[in-house]
């Protein structure tokens, strides 16, 4: 009879795998498979991306944005996730993509992958928490504070006009997330699991209540039809064409508007590489990280479509509910982000469900806060892993791990500070379209990193001997189709829609990285490095175990 392996046996095997990759077990390995899935599911968060950009999709393509766009994007993202899951099962390390690229090809590919992934991580943390703060203000803080005579909306200003209410809430929220993340992976793992069920309960409540007591659709829109609602601003969607008027008018087929609307779905499907970033804290990391990465997308696909379908079949009369939004004389120049002040879903739920809609909107705000907590955890691990190999300025400080809590505390601090400043800069440049800027940038840079490792996976062979999660003979065909979609979305979301500056930002960033690479990294960066001999790694781990004694295991 085969002997059953205990949890401790699996952890010892995980540590042996990590030693073979050159690293000590500095972080606290206690996450189970469900916790690994939960962190990626929470970052995808259908109650964040699909909600905060719902009006963006409706503006560009009408109901087709979600009823056609969501399933279309889902197919390609599942292929991307499957290709990445294979590689994750071969290299179960924190930082994931950077290490994969370095091992599959060389340190130079790893360096570029790391920077693209890192910039995307900063942007996604910023986008998620910027969105969360808008919802928290609209659903909880503004109503509460108005009772005591305090105006605390997203546009309220503080500190002499230096901060808006949205940025202030974002800063306070991220300080709470930082404290929780530093306190240990156990707390984050528990809250991630709570987040999964919170998302499912809120979605179920919205779907059931809209079906049972929601009002009939009054929008006048045809289901599954491409019917852009934005007919003003620098991009005008009408008469079967899209006109971009920025100095000189350029006309495109209206189908292009539909493809622009896919930012809603594709930004929602970001951050699922978190399952790989926490591999060094996951028990049975090779298999758990691969399944966590893939299943987080698959489950989000089903739950997300049900949620979006319910909303889209219960729309109010847009002309009466949002009169300014459809009035050509009052639309701002950048007009793709307009319904209900950027929180259209709140107004849709309120229209259908009254006070119950307000309560569900508050529940969505809490889900967004959970999403932000998970995104900080993932981004902090990515920054830590790159710094561990001295890939960044101040790496000596960034790679320090808290001996008490065994978390990359300094990297977590850096992620929170830079992400908040990123949002401030986006607000200065884009004003009300800041969310479009950060979401487009995060989508482009994260998927650029995803694309590199998928390309390397399709063109190299050695890593395949290490994988334990395999697509078999479909591995390469799936990888090439996935890579094609990465190229398409990077082109689409680089267009200057709705005040979006992602293209000039991308060019400026690449130029900066080229200077940095040829000026230092090409010769100075050594890539993944071995931390020591087996006995040295074991001694280092013993020190961490002694310092962290008393911290119990995380839930599975």
CA distances (Å), origin 445, targets 141, 480, 493, 536: 33, 19, 11, 37
Check residues 236 and 395 and name the one with the higher pLDDT: 395
Q: What is the pLDDT of residue 231?
A: 60
pLDDT tens readout for residues 214-226:
999 988 889 999 8
In a domain, 297, yes or no: yes
pLDDT over 90 (residue 152) = no
pLDDT over 50 (residue 333) = no
Q: What is the pLDDT of residue 35?
A: 95
In a domain, 129, yes or no: yes
In a domain, 457, yes or no: no
> How many domains, the chain?
1
pLDDT over 70 (residue 545) = yes
pLDDT tens readout for residues 409-467:
999 999 999 999 988 888 777 666 677 778 888 888 999 999 999 999 999 999 999 99
State how far the Cα of 397 lies from the Cα of 377, in Å rounded to an integer: 18
CA distances (Å), origin 544, targets 27, 301, 383, 502, 540: 9, 40, 20, 42, 7
State how far the Cα of 370 lies from the Cα of 368, in Å rounded to an integer: 5
Q: What is the pLDDT of residue 57?
A: 86
Q: What is the pLDDT of residue 74?
A: 97
Q: What is the edge-to-edge ordering of all strands in the sheet holding 235-238?
A: 235-238, 241-245, 249-253
Q: What is the pLDDT of residue 93?
A: 92
Calculate what percentage of the chain has a pLDDT beyond 70.
Answer: 86
How many CB atoms sit inside 10 A of residue 405's CB? Answer: 20
Check residues 373 and 333 and name the one with the higher pLDDT: 373
pLDDT tens readout for residues 189-232:
999 999 999 999 999 999 999 999 999 998 888 999 988 776 65
pLDDT tens readout for residues 516-536:
999 999 999 999 988 888 888
- Complete DSSP assignment for 200-213: HHHHHHHHHHHHHH
Q: What is the pLDDT of residue 425?
A: 85
Q: What is the pLDDT of residue 497?
A: 65
Q: What is the pLDDT of residue 379?
A: 95
- For residue 241, list its beta bridge partners: 238, 253
pLDDT tens readout for residues 239-265:
556 565 544 556 777 788 889 889 889
Rg of the chain in Å (alpha carbons): 23
pLDDT over 70 (residue 18) = yes
Q: What is the pLDDT of residue 334?
A: 35
Q: What is the pLDDT of residue 496?
A: 67
pLDDT over 60 (residue 554) = no
The boundaries of the domain holding residue 200 are 30-84+125-425
Cα within 13 Å of Cα(271), Cβ side:
37
Alpha helix segments (H runs only) across 239-284: 255-261, 263-268, 274-277
In a domain, 54, yes or no: yes
pLDDT tens readout for residues 280-330:
999 999 999 999 999 999 999 999 999 999 999 999 887 655 554 444 444
Mean pLDDT for the stretch of residues 395-403: 92
- For residue 303, list its beta bridge partners: none
pLDDT over 50 (residue 374) = yes
Check residues 403 and 182 and name the one with the higher pLDDT: 182
Q: Which residue has the tokens 């969360």?
A: 132
pLDDT over 70 (residue 161) = no
pLDDT over 90 (residue 92) = yes
CATH number of the domain that residue 72 is part of: 1.20.1740
In a domain, 282, yes or no: yes
In a domain, 243, yes or no: yes
State how far the Cα of 159 lies from the Cα of 148, in Å rounded to an integer: 20
In a domain, 541, yes or no: no
Mean pLDDT for the stretch of residues 13-42: 93
CA distances (Å), origin 105, targets 264, 352, 457, 465: 33, 54, 9, 15
In a domain, 156, yes or no: yes
CB 282, CB 29: distance < 8 Å: yes
**Least confident span in 69-78, 254-263, 376-385:** 254-263
CB 243, CB 342: distance < 8 Å: no
pLDDT tens readout for residues 475-509:
999 999 999 999 998 888 877 665 556 678 888 98
What is the per-residue burial (b if ≥16 Cβ within 10 Å, else e) of 103-122?
bbbebebbbbbbbbbbbbbb
Check residues 319 and 149 and name the one with the higher pLDDT: 149
């Amino acid at each position: 009879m085969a002997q059953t392996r205990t949890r401790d046996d699996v952890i010892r095997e995980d540590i042996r795998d990590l030693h073979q990759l050159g690293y000590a077990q500095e972080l606290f390995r206690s996450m189970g498979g469900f916790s690994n899935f939960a962190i990626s599911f929470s970052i995808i968060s259908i109650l964040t991306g699909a909600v905060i950009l719902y009006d963006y999709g409706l503006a560009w393509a009408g109901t087709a944005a979600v009823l056609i766009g969501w399933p279309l994007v889902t197919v390609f993202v599942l292929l991307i996730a499957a290709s990445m899951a294979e590689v994750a099962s071969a290299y179960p390390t924190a930082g994931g993509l950077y290490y994969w690229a370095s091992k599959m090809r060389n340190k130079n590919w790893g360096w570029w992958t790391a920077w693209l992934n890192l910039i995307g991580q900063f942007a996604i943390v910023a986008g998620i928490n910027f969105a969360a703060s808008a919802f928290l203000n609209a659903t909880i803080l503004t109503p509460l504070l108005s009772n005591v005579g305090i105006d605390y909306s997203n546009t309220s200003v503080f500190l002499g006009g230096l901060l808006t209410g949205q940025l202030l809430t974002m800063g306070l929220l991220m300080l709470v997330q930082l404290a929780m993340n530093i306190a240990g992976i156990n707390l984050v793992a528990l809250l991630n699991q709570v987040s999964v069920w919170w998302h499912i309960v809120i979605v179920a409540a919205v779907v059931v209540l809209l079906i049972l007591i929601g009002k009939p659709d009054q929008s006048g829109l045809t289901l599954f039809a491409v019917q852009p609602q934005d007919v003003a601003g620098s991009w005008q969607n009408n008469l079967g064409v899209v006109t971009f008027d920025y100095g000189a008018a350029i006309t495109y087929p209206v189908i292009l508007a539909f493809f622009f609307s896919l930012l809603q779905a594709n930004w929602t499907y970001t951050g699922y590489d978190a399952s790989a970033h926490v591999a060094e804290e996951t028990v049975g990391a090779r298999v758990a990280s691969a399944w966590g990465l893939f299943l987080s997308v698959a489950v989000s696909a089903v739950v997300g479509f049900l949620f979006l379908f319910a909303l889209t079949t219960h729309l109010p009369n847009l002309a009466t509910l949002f009169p300014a939004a459809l009035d050509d004389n009052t639309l701002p120049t950048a007009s793709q982000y307009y319904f209900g002040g950027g929180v259209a879903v709140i107004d849709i739920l309120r229209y259908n469900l009254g006070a119950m809609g307000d309560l569900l909107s508050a529940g969505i705000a809490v889900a967004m806060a959970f999403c932000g907590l998970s995104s900080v955890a993932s981004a902090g691990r990515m920054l830590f892993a790159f710094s561990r190999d001295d890939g960044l300025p101040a790496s000596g400080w960034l790679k320090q791990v808290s001996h008490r809590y065994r978390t990359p505390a300094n990297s977590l601090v850096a992620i929170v500070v830079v992400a908040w400043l990123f949002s401030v800069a986006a607000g200065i440049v884009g004003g009300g379209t800041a969310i479009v800027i950060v979401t487009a940038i995060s989508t482009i840079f994260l998927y650029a990193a995803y694309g590199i490792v998928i390309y390397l996976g399709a063109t190299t062979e050695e890593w395949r001997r290490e994988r334990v999660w395999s697509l078999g003979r479909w591995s390469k065909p799936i990888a090439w189709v996935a890579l094609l979609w990465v190229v398409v979305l990077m082109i689409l979301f680089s267009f200057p829609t709705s005040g979006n500056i992602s293209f000039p930002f991308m060019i400026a960033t690449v130029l900066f990285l080229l200077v940095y690479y040829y000026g230092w990294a090409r010769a100075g960066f050594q890539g993944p490095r071995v931390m020591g001999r087996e006995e040295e790694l074991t001694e280092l781990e013993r020190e961490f175990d002694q310092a962290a004694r008393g911290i119990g295991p995380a839930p599975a």
